[in-house]
Amino acid sequence: MPASPVDMSRYILGRILQLVPVLWLISTIIFVVMHMLPGDPAELMLAGAEGGAITPERLAELKREMGLDDPLLVQYLRFLANAAVGDLGDSVRFRLPVAELIADRFGSTFALSLCGLAISVAVGVPLGMVGAMRQNSAADTLTMALSYVGASMPVYWLGLLLILFFSFNLGWFPPAGADDWRSLVLPSTTIGLVAAGLIARLVRSSMIEVLREDYIRTGHAKGLSAAAVLWRHGLKNAMIPVITMIGLQFGGMLAGAVVTETVFSRPGVGRLVVNAILAKDYPLVQGCVIFLALVYLSVNLLVDIAYAWLDPRIRYGR
């Protein structure tokens, strides 16, 4: 049933409003955790981010710049007010606005996640379908074993194996960097294959359930070809839970690009946050994590909207 624009608008508005308290709570948790650090945060940041000797002048300057002398409540309210308008503070190490640093790198992380998602769907959906159609056969056992291994594999290890084989042995793709499309192949294959394992398992179980439905039997009974039944009725219905999973995977890839970007030395938001933690650049850590959480929540919101559009029962809260 096509959704009426009024219903959909009301649903979307409601979901966006639900996002506000979640974002506030997440930002507050991050703020509290980052301010529980033992010792003087300004000294820690200077020692970590800038290295060398800490001069009293630079310490005082940093405290003034970041308002660290103010009471915690004042700092918290200022942090919330600034974050609400997209001001995530300045990085101690780069001496640049955090939002600017993230904006420079987000394109790379987004491209990586999008290609990873495409690979996970291209590999996971057919594997799951084979498993469902040939249930308990040797092909099913093999595809499920593969998906099991994929889902249990450390991402960085798979990345290293791909570098070893496709970069060092075959010389097909560069092992690091983000210069052209070739440098995107191995990192996106890495995150794509790990996610494909989960997608394959879900497609298989969802498809097995759908294939037992009466309308599938009806399709066969009225003489449709096996392929038509599978494509037109089976896959379409089995994909509804899979779409949710794919959306979650995409959000997870954007937020979890941390490891892959480090393995392949890609300049993305994930690598930025790891380097910020190692350099004790707390405003940058805080800003990156809030940004990644916002992206993750936004992707989930889009998935929910797509889902509500596909299935009106969700829109009406039934």
Distance of closest approach, residue 286 Cβ to other proteins, in angstroms: 8
Task: By CB under 8 A, tell whether 53 contacts other proteins.
Answer: no
How many Cβ atoms are within 10 Å of 83's Cβ, its own excluded? 22
CA-based Rg of the chain, rounded to a whole angstrom?
24
DSSP annotation of 90 reads B
Would you state the structure tokens that stand for residue 278, as one six-digit string?
A: 């190692």
CA atoms within 13 A on the CB side of 60: 3
Task: By CB under 8 A, tell whether 239 contacts other proteins.
Answer: no
Sole binder of other proteins in the list 1, 5, 6, 21 (CB under 8 A) = 21
Interface residues for other proteins in 109-148 (CB under 8 A)?
A: 148
Task: By CB under 8 A, tell whether 259 contacts other proteins.
Answer: yes
Task: By CB under 8 A, tell whether 299 contacts other proteins.
Answer: no
Instruction: Give the CA-trace dihedral at 232, 235, 238, 240, to 10 degrees.
Output: -80
Distance of closest approach, residue 247 Cβ to other proteins, in angstroms: 13
- Residue closer to other proteins by CB (options 143, 300) is 300
- Residue closer to other proteins by CB (options 168, 316) is 168
Task: By CB under 8 A, tell whether 255 contacts other proteins.
Answer: yes
Determine the residue type at 28. Answer: T
Distance of closest approach, residue 151 Cβ to other proteins, in angstroms: 7
- Contact by Cβ (8 Å): 187, 266: yes
Report the distance separating Cα 238 and Cα 206, nearest Å.
5
Count of residues that bind other proteins according to CB under 8 A: 45
Task: By CB under 8 A, tell whether 262 contacts other proteins.
Answer: yes
Task: Give the binding range for other proteins (CB under 8 A) out of 78-86, 226-234, 239-247, 291-299.
Answer: 291-299
DSSP annotation of 44 reads H
Helix (H, G, I), strand (E, B) or coil at 97: strand
Interface residues for other proteins in 152-181 (CB under 8 A)?
A: 152-157, 160-161, 163-164, 168
Distance of closest approach, residue 174 Cβ to other proteins, in angstroms: 13
- Residue closer to other proteins by CB (options 237, 262) is 262
- Residue closer to other proteins by CB (options 229, 259) is 259
Report the distance separating Cα 250 and Cα 299, nearest Å.
8
Report the distance separating Cα 65 and Cα 63, nearest Å.
6
Report the distance separating Cα 301 and Cα 311, nearest Å.
15
Determine the residue type at 59. Answer: L
- Contact by Cβ (8 Å): 201, 140: no
Report the distance separating Cα 318 and Cα 5, nearest Å.
19
Task: By CB under 8 A, tell whether 252 contacts other proteins.
Answer: yes
Task: Give the binding range for other proteins (CB under 8 A) out of 5-13, 32-40, 53-61, 303-311.
Answer: 32-40
Task: By CB under 8 A, tell whether 92 contacts other proteins.
Answer: no
- Residue closer to other proteins by CB (options 219, 251) is 251
For the chain, how many residues are written?
Answer: 318
Return residues touching other proteins (CB under 8 A). Answer: 21-22, 25-26, 29-30, 33-34, 36-37, 148-149, 151-157, 160-161, 163-164, 168, 251-252, 255-256, 258-259, 262-263, 273-274, 276-278, 282, 285, 289, 292-293, 296-297, 300
